[in-house]
Structure 1
Amino acid sequence: MREKNLARSIRMICLGGVALAVQGAYAQEDTQPAPMQRVEITGSRIASPNAESPSPLQVLTAKDIAASGANNLQDLLLQNPTLGTPTYSRTNTAFLTSGAGVATVDLRNLGTSRTLVLVNGRRFVSGVPGSAAVDLNAIPTDFIERVELLTGGASAAYGSDAVAGVVNIITKRNFDGLTIDAQGGESSKGDSEKRKLSITYGSSNDNGFLMGHIGFTRDGQVWSRNRAASAVDQSSKMVVDTGDPADAFVAERPTYSSYAPQGSFTYKDADAKKTPHTYTYDANGNPIPFVSSVSGFNRSYYRSIAVPVDRFVLALSGERKLDEHNSAFVEGTYVSARSGSTIEPFALSSSDIFKTNGQVPGGTMVNGQLVKNPLIPQYLWDRMTDTDLDGIPDFSFRRRLSEVGTRSNSVDRDTFRLATGVKGDFQLWKNWNYEGYVAYGQTKEAQQSTGQVNVLNFRNALTAVPDANGKPVCADANARAQGCVPINIFGFNSISKEALAYVNAPGSLTTRTTQKLAGGHIDGEIFDLPAGPLGIAAGVEFRKEYSDSTPDALTQAGLNAGNATPPTQGEFSVREAFVEAHIPVLKDLPFVKELSLPIAFRHGDYSSVGSTNSWNAGFEWTVVNDVKLRGTRSLSTRAPDINELYQAPSQDFPTGITDPCEGVTATSQGVISDRCRADPGVAANIAANGAFKTTLADKQSISGYNRGNPNLHAEKGRSTTVGLVWTPRSIAMLKRFTFTADYFNIKIADAIVSTPRQYALKTCYDGTNPAMCQFITRWPTANGGSSAGALRYIDTAVSNSGGRATSGLDLTAAWNDRVGPGTLSTRLAYTYVKTGYDVPLPGAERDPFAGEIGAAKNKANLNVGYRWKDLNINATFDYIGRSSLDDQFLADFDLPPHSLQVGSRTYTNMQVSYQLMKKTELYFGLDNAFDVKAPPIISGLPGDVTGTETDGGTYDPIGRRWYAGIRVKL
């Protein structure tokens, strides 16, 4: 059975020394302890008379959520130093083809897929199709009593995905009355609008309780152009120009895109067949040589730092006694979230349309005679030559389709979940508890996109001939019959409305994810041992996951000039059984106040990967009243998700790629040089330029395909934790002090990963893994404006790799007491990551990530609160330590690991609240109160999030924000 009220829960957690929030900023004076009841703590199914855990457990309470002013739980959780950079957040999803505005968490930087999110100890439906990632937008913050973060393997207790740990969200119960919370705010720049209006109602009595919640929240958009650091297209000067490490964090501004609204057109004339010429148009329509810094396009004007998210939430929970020993319960949630992204108009090149050679024919052969396309300017026609020996002169182009408009994705995401069941107690030798439940969850997504074109129609529209009156018409008669209109791509605003209507291709994406869950468990005490009762729990669970993701037909075929994305559909089911025991060994002996051994085992049978086994064993040793030692050793498993198993090849455009062939000459020595020159395109480039050289446009055009693998098997994670809890209640000055220290070590064998693209490039050309060369495709010749030998595709596939691991130390300390007229509360959480690495493929060298951007070795969170009568002041300081660029990237510049670093950042969040009347509270807060700027992780550097010019998932790219609100309790 769970505790009866929140205050009792917080008190027990504090005494166990297991909370990050040990007595939060709102802690009050001591009260007389109430009688202990049996409670269930995250990580165990056995209810016990205390709330202690053998694994590191940190807790955030409802008051912590209120003091943060957060609309979304992710905003608060990311302050916890055990959490890494999330895969999805408001500030790193603007450029994703799906998932804009989703909010996830990632424990220990081991991946979102290895962090299991539960609600009241039960699974929640995924918010990302094909994955297990829970969207925290679907969980209303006002409905939460506390959040328990268990770090370390917990698959034996909860099943797959708990390799890094568990985030268990406990909702409120026994809530009486009506609470109205209204809030508004924005950034100091006048954007990032924040709105909230919620109503929570509850009623409880001896027969049960019923709670309901309705709420609306809004987090507004932030444009890149409204921040000085991201207002203009830029690239790392080291990457695009000098190669000097001193220039890594220096921006080359502007580095405008070569895809300009007026177009750039490349041809080879008869006098210099090996030297292409590129021209464009000035504002008056005159042809001039193309220079990106002068005639290029500023994409940053249209990009976003943060996407907007609107949420409408309905939630309910209730419990009703059926008789003295049994009760029924229900939990229901419906969330309608609307998000979207807007980026620059589409960049189209002739190679997107004429994929064979990237060349546009300048005319059409009619009855053996060449007929010029009347839309081609005479200036170009006079300079064109035949580039493919068919008698028709050719040219290539790049053009920003500004007439089509910006590319936008409008996303409607609906999440529904209903869980119900019965629970109670019965007599079997002793008093036992039971619970049985069923749950159904569904997430549906409808996405509409604009700004792309039909490639087949565009090709027909580019090929024009004059009719009898000399007017341009499409050359293909069938295309004319289907409404083809010739398209003029030469100059500003040259595309007519009629041609635009013919080539325009709005896109769509529909997804559906479902989860069916049924299970039950019992727990109780079998008999008494000399040191106490032997506790045991056992249960079974059935789960079925299904997902499908279906883009429109043109997107599936890659015929809208964007990412080719085929549909993905799949499902799997699993039947599991588990048993757990808590064995008391010794009690009331010298230096052994209490010693017990918790153990657990779970067996799963998956339709996808077969049988899996998980276990954990630990110890809880209370040396004396104030000192406790604890530890666990566990084997956790994670079965592959639907995307990892069944994803069809889906196109991607990776960033931060460096080509190891860059700068290779005809005479340079070494394995890399030899292997680069063996590629015909690279050799042709060297012959033309003296050294292999590519342009910024080449780097911006690199593409590739991501694919799943139905032959995957489950990964296994072995974790070890050893910790100390010190609660010096016997020392008067420290009776309100709690300290914990926990060492963690998690190693994942056969980790499921996509082969890193930079790793594939490096090992292909240095000869350490020639098999990686199968993922790499280069342009054989100069095509469509691309340089000969430039990277065209770098693919990646999912496999069971050599592994992933991390180790380190967690420290927490908390103290609260009366200081002056009020109560001062402090808490500190610090995490030091000693090691963290990937093994990309079996037998490969370790690729360290600890200490790199997004995975700082040192992170801390300090909370200080002071309450005096009706006034409460709370401040939180979040520290992110110095971090370096990715070591693989540095190796390409012959630099040692951690040689290029960005400095630490400390963000300060503050809130002041005042109890105006007994039932009315006013509050005002500042996030990033001192407007700390994010480090310059510029385009071209690994870790950059497009549009932010930093790592938008790790650092704050928005700046200072304020909010104010009123909370009324009736």
Structure 2
Amino acid sequence: MLKETTLSRSVRMICVGGLALGLQAAHAQEAAADSIQKVQITGSRISSPGAESPSPLQILSSADIAASGATTLQDLLQKNPTMGTPTLSRTNSNFVTSSAGVSTVNLRNLGDSRTLVLVNGRRFVSGVPGDTAVDLNTIPTDFIERVELLTGGASATYGSDAVAGVVNIILKRNFNGLLFDASTGRSSEGDDFKKKLSLTFGTSSADGASNVMGHFGYSKQGAVFSRDRAISANDQTSKLPKTKKASDAFIPVPNLSSFAPQGHFTGDEEDFTYDRAGNIIPWNVNGGNGQAATGFNRSAFRTIAIPTERFLFATTGNYAINDKVSAFFEGNFASSKTRTNTEPFGLGSDDIYKASEGLVPAETMVNGKAVRNPLVPQYLYDRITDKDGDGLRDYSFTRRMSEVGSRTQTADRDTFRLATGLKGSVGDWTYDTYIAYGKTKEAQNSSGQVNVLNFRNALEAIPDVNDVNRNGSTTDAICADANARAFGCVPINLFGYNTVSPEALKYVIAPGSLTTSITQKLAGGSISGEYFDLPAGKIGWAAGFEWRDEQSSAVPDPLTQAGLNAGNALPPTEGGYHVREFFLETRVPLLKDQPFAKSLAFNGAFRNGHYSTVGNTNSWNAGLEWAPTSDIKFRATRATSTRAPNINELYTAPSQTFPDVSDPCEGVTATSTGKYDAGCRANPYVRANIAANGKVVLTQPDLQGVSGYDSGNPGLKAEQGRSTTVGVVLTPRSIPMLSKFTFTADYFNIKISDAILLSDRQYTLNQCYTGDAAYCKYVTRRTATVGDSSVGALKYVDSLYLNSGGKATEGIDITASWSDYVGPGRLSANIAYTYLKDFWERPQPDADRDYSVGEVGYARNKAVINLAYKWNKFGAHMTTSYTGSGALNDQFLLTNKLQPGSVKVGSKTYNDFQFTYDVAKKIELYLGIDNAFNTKPAPIISGLPGNTTGTETNASVYDPIGRRFYLGVRGTL
């Protein structure tokens, strides 16, 4: 259990001074300011009165959550300057193959998997298959009493995954009555509709020793489409990757897809397409020579924010068996539904005929004679020859399968968790035992894909001269393969708009599915107390154990597993592990009420874990707290944390993805002398491209079509993090003018050795072409020119989970808070600021560090300011969040022959307001405006690193939606 301690008003203000975001509404502060409270403190398991966490601790209260109007906890936590960019959110997951709409958190930008999320001090089942990241959508915000953020390594106290820190969510308890909250809202553009309803109820026994509570919540958030924002309404790309000029980075140029609904067909020397009237015209994507554009605008179909609907139920309770023992339980059930939407599938002939590099036969051999497919137009037939030597004329194509419709993924996700145990005391010692079971499952159904095998059969048609299909006609087309005809094959006509018949569509369409399951089992216990008197007090001790079993599976449909639906090939990933851990913690008071030592204490902890996958791991921490006077306290902690690889990192089978990389060979000539040029020319297919064009020339499909496979690695070992924090807390209560002011400053330094990372694809490419042949095995180039794809263009760049050369971050957190009566009401103010001094990753142990500080997503300066004013029945709350300027990724700039830091986006400031009015003693109306001044997102255009597809910005860093309003009522009955 977490330690529980009685804190006076002054100690409580120290905790409030550690707030990084949010501020309690003034009326809530008034009610609690002068009372003595019991507050659980994250960071220790010792039940020693008066002890405090020696590590930086930040607290977010239920009033802060209410003042934000947040639908999910992620919405509010992301304003905290200690938070990095989450892997998954509503605005960055439209294109992921699973877990779309999940909400995760990422402390210090060290990764979701290195941020341990607890509920009431215990682990919670993951919401991401194969990972440990918790889906915050499953935790009802209105059932939260507070959230505690412990930044820095905490593995010795809480176990693996706490390398970056801990987010501990404390649920409400011992409540009697009924709480309600209902609101609705939308954006100023008329979308992003939001509805929320929550009810919390509780009752206690007559003596108050036992209590049961329940919570029901419902929320629905509507979609935001790319076409409804000016920045993302049209397909575009940055001018920079082509021109290599820094000034061109944020200049968008039209970039309509060459996969058009009417088809794009390539003969021996000519490309052509169709106009709306069905006439053959030369292909021209950008509409030159006075023609209308023939490409396709994918942004008309894409989504910025995923529609999400949630039903939540939570319950807690405790039953006093006697005055020494009580039983407790916690139950959670969350059901959510999300829907992604992307443009109709862009199919290429190389998806169907992979072995022949996309060459489609226009003829079929029948009785030793080549018979023409009657659906192939004469214009194309006359302009093609036999390219692959099989005696049949060949062509290639790309086509947007608009008849199939948009690609959608509808995911029904359920999370269930139950925890129960006993708490009690034996003499002066307290104990806590528990067992818990959690399960998350997802059923995903997708549309918009095709069956590659059926499509091939449908493409190979012959005239039905013998009326095989018995329809009375000998001039129509039938599928050449008799077995395919027996299974319903219908020839498919790709030449022009809406030419695919409903019968052919029915034959080739391939709905997809994905089922996932995550199971967590927990058992643990701890005992704590004080023993052995010292002059400064008793030594506090805690000891305990935890056993945990994690299992996960993600199983796509058979076509997807085989890569036969023309999309990403995704094999099943299944695996699990178990771990048993033991820990010991102590707090030793060294000095008390001495000159220059109001108090001095040592804190230490050690944990040993044994994993079924990586064997033994050890973690420890040691800290000092020194208060020279009651107004100032210094704290310092040194910790070693561990994280074992998760199931995905260990067991992911090669899974296809489409990465964003820059080809270092682009533009290389036969005599150029750049850093990569000699290595590029060593590849025969690159040389063929140079021979054909005078230099390496890449087409738009070449740039858009790079694929690759991500793979797990059962040989991984655990990573180890070393963190140092040194800080000061000022609570100048002895100075009347500053008696209600609190200030904290903490230095942090976290270094992770053997960090588990997917190998960096850009690093792999760069190393391959600077002479390290070991990396070239992960790179595959095209062996021939087919259609729009160039010989020598990148085809696959693969990646593998590895124990890398490590990663690290360093910086300073500062918070300050103050509250007092000003004029007729009470004013409260809080500021939190993080200065990022350093952040780097090392792809391999022998590689140079890749520094990210100052880049987009790693701003040097981040801050949030909260102001609240309460006057009689009226209240106002303002939150201003600031993100400093950021440069584009330095490796991207170097690849494009630009200096690191030469291309930057400016800082962004967002202002949120909430106004309240008490219509009754315990009921208030509230009106909120988020992003009140409609601050536009930074233009991280397609083609630039960090772009979130469909948003034309980095939607994990900047707000892609814009101004939003909401109106609601809440209170107690």
Q: Tell me which interval the TM-score lies in, with the shorter structure as reference length.
A: over 0.9
> Match of 1:685, SS?
helix
Distance 1:564 1:16, change over 3 A: closer
Q: Normalised by the size of structure 2, how large is the TM-score?
A: 0.96
The question of 1:477 aligning with 2:482 is answered: yes
- 2:80 counterpart letter in structure 1: N
Q: How does 1:347-358 map to 2 (within 5 A)?
A: 347-356=346-355, 357-358=357-358
C-alpha spacing 1:108/1:727, structure 2 compared with 1 (3 Å): same
Instruction: Report deviation, 1:15.
Output: 5.8
| 8 Å CA contact 2:826, 2:869 repeated in 1 | yes
Q: Which residue of 2 aligns with 1:505?
A: 510
Counterpart residue number, 2:681: 677
CA deviations 1:690-744 (Å, max 9, x no partner) are: 1101012211111100000000010000000000000001111111100000000
SS of residue in 1 equivalent to 2:729: strand
Instruction: Indicate which of 800, 805, 808 corresponds to 1:805.
Output: 808
Question: What letter corresponds to residue 220 of structure 2 in structure 1?
Answer: R
Shift of 1:16: 7.7
- 1:522-671 maps to which residues of 2 (within 5 A)? 522-655=527-660, 657-671=661-675
Query: Is residue 890 of structure 2 the alignment partner of residue 887 of structure 1?
Result: yes
Pairwise CA distance, 1:919: 2.6
The answer to whether the 8 Å contact 1:319/1:327 transfers is: yes
State the shift of 1:688 in Å: 1.1
Cα distance in 1 between the residues matched to 2:35 and 2:259: 70
TM-score by length of 1: 0.97
Amino acid at match of 1:487: I
Whether contact under 8 Å (1:201, 1:213) holds in the other structure is yes
Question: Cα distance 1:31–1:453, how it changes in 2: closer, same or farther (>3 A)?
Answer: closer
| Cα distance between partner residues in 1 of 2:149 and 2:276 | 59
The question of 1:251 aligning with 2:252 is answered yes
Instruction: Return the offset for 1:670.
Output: 4.1
Query: Quick one: distance in 1 between partners of 2:32 and 2:237?
Result: 60
Change (3 A) 1:755 1:10: farther
Does the aligned pair in 1 maintain the 2:184–2:968 contact within 8 Å?
A: yes
Partner of 2:233: 231
Give the CA deviation at 1:32: 7.9
- For 1:314, the equivalent position in structure 2 comes to 313
Equivalent residues in 2 for 1:398-413, closer than 5 Å: 398-413=398-413
Separation in 1 of the partners of 2:554 and 2:883? 37
1:284 alignment counterpart: 277
Q: CA deviation at 1:52?
A: 2.5
Deviation at 1:525, TM superposition (A): 0.3
Which amino acid counterpart does residue 350 of structure 1 have in structure 2? S
1:785 offset after TM fit, Å?
2.6
Structure 1 distance, partners of 2:420, 2:450, is 48
**Corresponding letter in the other structure for 1:422:** L
Q: Distance in 1 between matches of 2:37 and 2:947?
A: 51
- 1:447 is matched with which residue? 444
Q: Which residue of 2 aligns with 1:218?
A: 220
Cα distance between partner residues in 2 of 1:490 and 1:19: 63
- Match of 1:131, SS? coil
* CA-CA distance at 1:304 after TM superposition: 0.5
1:7 Cα deviation (Å)?
Answer: 10
Contact 2:2/2:42 (<8 A) preserved: no
Does the residue aligned with 2:168 lie in a helix, a strand or coil? strand
Q: Distance in 1 between matches of 2:101 and 2:6?
A: 31
Shift in Å at residue 897 of structure 1? Answer: 1.7
Give per-residue Cα distances to partners, 1:337-376, cap 9 Å, x unaligned: 0001000000000000000221001101222211101000
Aligned equivalent of 1:908, options 885, 907, 911: 911
Q: Deviations over 1:563-603 (max 9, x none)?
A: 00000000100000000000011111211111000000000
Q: Contact (CA 8 Å) 1:40, 1:47: kept in 2 or not?
A: no
Q: CA 1:707–1:633 in 2, change beyond 3 Å: closer, same or farther?
A: same
Q: Which residue of 2 aligns with 1:272?
A: none
What does residue 290 of structure 2 align with? none
SS in 2 for 1:617: strand
Q: Match of 1:346?
A: 345
The answer to whether the 8 Å contact 1:161/1:637 transfers is: yes
Q: Call closer, same or farther: CA 1:724–1:488 in 2, change over 3 Å.
A: same
Identify the residue that residue 821 of structure 2 maps to in structure 1. 818
- Contact kept, 8 Å, 2:5 with 2:40, in 1: the verdict is no
Q: How does 1:420-499 map to 2 (within 5 A)?
A: 420-427=420-427, 431-468=428-465, 469-499=474-504
Paired with 2:959 and 2:794, the residues of 1 have a C-alpha distance of 33
CA contact (8 A) 2:81 2:834 kept: yes
Return the letter of the residue paired with 1:586: L
Paired position in structure 1 for 2:471: none
Q: Distance in 1 between matches of 2:541 and 2:4?
A: 23
1:14–1:23 contact (8 Å) kept in structure 2 = no
CA contact (8 A) 1:25 1:864 kept: no
Q: In the aligned structure 2, how far is the partner of 1:236 from the partner of 1:554?
A: 35
Cα deviation for residue 394 of structure 1 reads 0.6
- Deviating beyond 6 angstroms after TM superposition, the runs of 4 or more aligned structure 1 residues are 1-11
User: Relative to structure 2, which stretch is displaced further, 276-285 or 701-710?
Assistant: 276-285
Structure 1: distance between partners of 2:271 and 2:221: 44
Please state if 1:125 is matched with 2:128.
Answer: no
Partner of 1:518: 523
Aligned to 2:696: 692
Query: Structure 2: how far apart are the matches of 1:175 and 1:831?
Result: 36
Query: Is the Cα contact below 8 Å between 1:426 and 1:432 reproduced in 2?
Result: yes
- Show the counterpart of 2:767: 763
1:292 partner SS: coil
Aligned partners of 2:546 and 2:580 also within 8 Å: yes
Asked whether 1:386 is paired with 2:390, we answer: no
Tell me if structure 1 keeps the 8 A contact 2:7–2:36. Answer: no
Match of 1:271 in 2: none
User: For residues 282 and 433 of structure 1, do their structure 2 counterparts lie closer, same or farther at Cα, with a shift above 3 Å needed?
Assistant: same
Gaps of 5+ in 2: 287-292, 466-473
User: Residues 295-324 of structure 1, C-alpha deviation per residue, up to 9 Å, x if partnerless?
Assistant: 000000000000011000011001111101
Give the equivalent residue in structure 1 for 2:154: 154
**Following TM superposition, by how much is the alpha carbon of 1:894 offset from its aligned partner in structure 2, in angstroms?**
2.1
Cα distance, 1:685 vs. partner?
A: 1.1
Letter of the 1:845 counterpart: D
Deviation at 1:94, TM superposition (A): 0.4
Partner of 1:100: 100
Q: Which residue in 1 is equivalent to 2:91?
A: 91
Which string of whole-angstrom CA distances, capped at 9 and with x for unpartnered residues, describes residues 87-106 of structure 1?
Answer: 00000000111111000000
Return the letter of the residue paired with 1:643.
N
Counterpart position of 1:273: none
Give runs of aligned pairs for residues 254-265 of structure 1, distance below 5 A.
254-265=254-265
Q: 1:7 to 1:362 in 2, by over 3 A?
A: farther
Shift in Å at residue 8 of structure 1?
7.4
> Measured at CA, do residues 15 and 192 of structure 1 come closer, stay the same or move farther in structure 2, by a change above 3 Å?
closer
> Compared with structure 1, are the counterparts of its residues 11 and 68 closer, same or farther at alpha carbon in structure 2 (3 Å cutoff)?
farther
* 1:673 Cα deviation from its structure 2 partner: 1.2
1:925 aligned residue: 928
Find 1:856's aligned residue among 833, 855, 859. Answer: 859
1:615-648 CA distance string (max 9 Å, x none): 0000000111101000100000000000000000
Change (3 A) 1:853 1:221: same
Q: Give the direction of change, closer, same or farther, for the CA distance of 1:700–1:398 in structure 2 (3 Å limit).
A: same
1:924-945 deviations in Å (ceiling 9; x for gaps): 0000000000010000000000
Greater shift in the superposed pair: 40-49 or 477-486: 40-49
Deviates more, 1:834-843 or 1:757-766: 757-766
SS in 2 for 1:97: coil
Asked if the contact 1:108–1:806 (Cα under 8 Å) also holds between the matched residues in 2, the reply is: yes
